[in-house]
Amino acid sequence: CSLSKNKFTNNAYTLERPIKTTMLDALNKVTACYRHLVIALGSTSDSQNLREELKKTRKKAQELAVANRTKLTSLLKDKNISKDDRAEYERLWVLFTSSVELLEVDMKRSLEIGQDFPLKVPTRHLIQTGMTGSTTTVAARAMSVQNMKYEADANIDTVDLKELETEIAQVDQMMEEMEMKVQVAPWAVEAKQEAGAELKSTVSVGNSSVGVISICEEEPKETVEGETGLMKVFAGVIFTAVLLIAGILGYLVINL
Amino acid sequence: MTINTLSQDGVQRQQMPCLTKMERMIISMQDPDMGIKLRNQRLLITVIPHAMTGLDIVEWLIKKCSISDEEALHVGQLFVKYGYIYPLKEPRNLILKADDSSYRFQTPYYWMSTRWPASELDYAIYLAKKNIRKQGELIEYEKECYNALHKRINHTWDFVVMQAREQLRASKQRRKGDRIVLECQEQAYWLVNRPPVSPEHYKLTTLTKNTIAMISLARNRVKSSICLESYVKYCEQYQPHDPIMQGCLPSNPWITDDIMFWNMNSETVALPTKLRVERWSFSFMELLNDQMGRKEFLTYLEKEFSGTHTQINESIHNPYKQQFLAPGASRWVNIDSKTMEKTLEGLKRPHRFVLDDAQMHIYFLMKKDSYPRYLKSELYKNLLARAIVPQETKKSVFPFMRRQRHSSPSPALATQTAEDDGKAKYSNSNSGTASRL
């Protein structure tokens, strides 16, 4: 495995066995995107596509969860690790379990809301919340692709719910097993971040530049996006000004 | 819902019925024909649809439910209070105004739900997000909550920061109008679930919490050794009377199908069992709870010219009690002058509890005075001597000669046959309607 230093540390110390946290970061990202998608359920942003996005995102989340779990349990089971290493792994374990808990709650809620708001009914009663745009970019971010492909059947809103139920049961079972097998006291873990840490570093914490390239490419877009709107207006103003001047000059030339 | 909606403490929760009703109403407001009229909200360059005025809401409620102006306003207020609709101009002011102030519907994820109460972790993530967006300029109350949460859930604080950042990045993928709506929605949700508290109110609540804590510290406590002792005494006293611990004579009806035990202990038997009579000496309530005991006690009291006491206690639900207490009444009652005065006052404007003081007084009189005397009286002792101790039924020597145990027809069977009949009738009618469809 690669030797990227763990980017969570504020005070510098090197782990004896540093680990890559890209998988954990990816799980965190997918959880955040999944929540974002579930918020759109039942509203005017809801659609067949959203249901498919939810399905794909949550399957990806589950894959990542299983992968993380395997890795972290194998790390924690090792008896020959130093105290510092163990503390760090326990911290990562708490990060992991928090992510899975959030995911589980959102899965249960998406089941509930999905059942309450079926799409294939004569009169749709989706709540008119003011959100009308699509969520395809969010899903693309979760899946780490450029564009989402939609290939689901028309009745995904009902068929998917059954799968969702079984998946929820699986996640529940996984969490129970985790609690049994891994003896980590969550309250004993100390966070590395202080209060207000989110304001300090502008570079994403934990998003190691090594590894998956697709995570990084969104960074430049974000800082510019706020300004593109303003730029467009400015450019438009200049363009019309130039046109006006050209028109006036032309008029003068013709008349003189 | 087939999935168990277990909350953190493992208790299965149901959605409150009133919230379900409100949800149904909100859904009916979305109807394209019969729903609420919606307008667009203009913010500088962006236009966000699906806004409605307070007046629209009130008028729709009046039309739909055929209620008065005032009631419609009140119902509308409930929608805003519970977060199904949120105001756009003054988000912190959760009131419905029946004028042109605009409101919007909340998305189902953020609906008030007893199944999914707002969690601390989510609140922490929200505050972290707000902190990033506002560059550290949180309002005073939010700053306090943020610091408190940082202390309380410190172990997952790294997760809070990571998740806050990721959620912000995810929302940046949406277009501007949707992003604004998302922010407003989330803010409205947290204003409903974690209402901001003014500093004076905050001080007051902490003050009351402290006083409550001090009072509970000063509470009288019984040493566990003492209460365990009395518990042991109680168990020892009641042990011979417990059919499971001691067995019951003549035999346990559930085992031998012989109901003699019940017959001997029924209320109208001529001679009670010894155990039963002994039990009356445990406490006054034991005596009163047993109908036969009450009768015996009454006979004793009548012998002592104070039978009216028991009659009052027994007929306490009878409203026509003036006959007992009016001076010169046909029956006299022994109560002290203070209670008598109070009761007579109350009788001038009679209410349900007017004779409670008198009753209490008489009850204690009987308990402290008449009851101990009864237990020492000849009447009681005679009854105790005459009481029967039933013989245990002989078990037959040869096990296979024992009386055949046959259970009486189980009540479950009876109901099942009734259900089957019912089902047959229902399916007949059902198939009839199915063919019509």
Q: Is B119 left (phi over 0), alpha (psi -120 to 50) or beta?
A: beta
Residue with tokens 């911290």: A91
**Highest-pLDDT range among B12-26, B117-131, B294-308:** B117-131
A87 by Cβ neighbours in 10 Å (0-12 / 13-18 / 19+) ranks as: middle
Residue B11: pLDDT band by 50, 70, 90 thresholds? Answer: very low
| B130: Cα separation from own chain's centroid | 39
Select from A89, A116, A198, A233 the residue whose CB has the most chain B CBs within 10 Å, as the one to mutate to test that interface: A198
Average pLDDT over residues A122-138: 88
Report the alpha-carbon distance of residue B259 to residue B408 in Å, rounded.
13
CB contact under 8 A, A198 and B164: yes
CB contact under 8 A, A125 and B107: no
Report the alpha-carbon distance of residue B132 to residue B146 in Å, rounded.
13
| A98 CB within 8 Å of a chain B CB | yes
Q: Which residues of B touch A196 (CB under 8 A)?
A: 131, 136
Q: Does B272 or B335 have the greater pLDDT score?
A: B272
Pairs across A and B, CB distance < 8 A = 178
pTM of the model: 0.59
pLDDT at position A242 is 93
Q: Which residues of A touch B87 (CB under 8 A)?
A: none
CB contact under 8 A, B108 and A197: no
Interval A141-200: pLDDT, tens? 999 988 888 888 888 888 889 999 999 999 999 998 888 888 777 777 887 777 777 777
Report the alpha-carbon distance of residue B304 to residue B309 in Å, rounded.
11
Residue of A nearest to B179 (CA): A131
Alpha helices in B12-156 (DSSP H): 17-29, 54-65, 69-81, 120-133, 140-152
- DSSP strand pairing (B102-105 vs B39-43): unpaired
pLDDT at position A157 is 83
Residue B181, helix vs strand vs coil: helix
Q: Which residues of B touch A225 (CB under 8 A)?
A: 172
| DSSP category for residue B395 | P
CB contact under 8 A, A117 and B147: no
Instruction: List the one residue out of A205, A202, A210 whose CA is nearest residue A10.
Output: A205
Report the alpha-carbon distance of residue A243 to residue A225 in Å, rounded.
28
> Which DSSP string corresponds to chain A?
---PPPTT-SS----SS----HHHHHHHHHHHHHHHHHHTTTBTT--HHHHHHHHHHHHHHHHHHHHHHHHHHHHHH-SS--HHHHHHHHHHHHHHHHHHHHHHHHHHHHHHHHHHS-SSSSS---B--S--S--HHHHHHHHT-SS------TTHHHHHHHHHHHHHHHHHHHHHHHHHH----GGG---S--TTHHHH--SPTT--SSS-HHHHTHHHHHHHHHHHHHHHHHHHHHHHHHHHHHHHHHHHHHH-
Q: Which residues of B touch A123 (CB under 8 A)?
A: 31-32
CB contact under 8 A, B30 and A204: no
CB contact under 8 A, A129 and B181: yes
pLDDT at position A199 is 77
Q: Which residues of A touch B171 (CB under 8 A)?
A: 36
- Residue B423: is its pLDDT beyond 80? no
- What ipTM goes with this model? 0.73
State the average pLDDT for chain A. Answer: 79
The distance of A153 to chain B (nearest Cα, Å) reads 24
Q: Does B374 or A203 have the greater pLDDT score?
A: B374
Tokens of B40: 């667009």
Report the alpha-carbon distance of residue B185 to residue B177 in Å, rounded.
12
Average pLDDT over residues B396-401: 55
Sign of the C-alpha dihedral computed for residues B240, B246, B250 and B256 taken in this order: positive
Report the alpha-carbon distance of residue B35 to residue A215 in Å, rounded.
44
Residue B399: pLDDT band by 50, 70, 90 thresholds? Answer: low
| A195 CB within 8 Å of a chain B CB | yes
**Closest CB to A198 among B115, B132, B185:** B132
Report the alpha-carbon distance of residue A17 to residue A81 in Å, rounded.
9
CB contact under 8 A, A33 and B136: no
Q: How far apart are the first and last CA of chain B?
A: 28
Q: Which residues of B touch A186 (CB under 8 A)?
A: 155-156
The distance of B433 to chain A (nearest Cα, Å) reads 23
Residue B407: pLDDT band by 50, 70, 90 thresholds? Answer: low
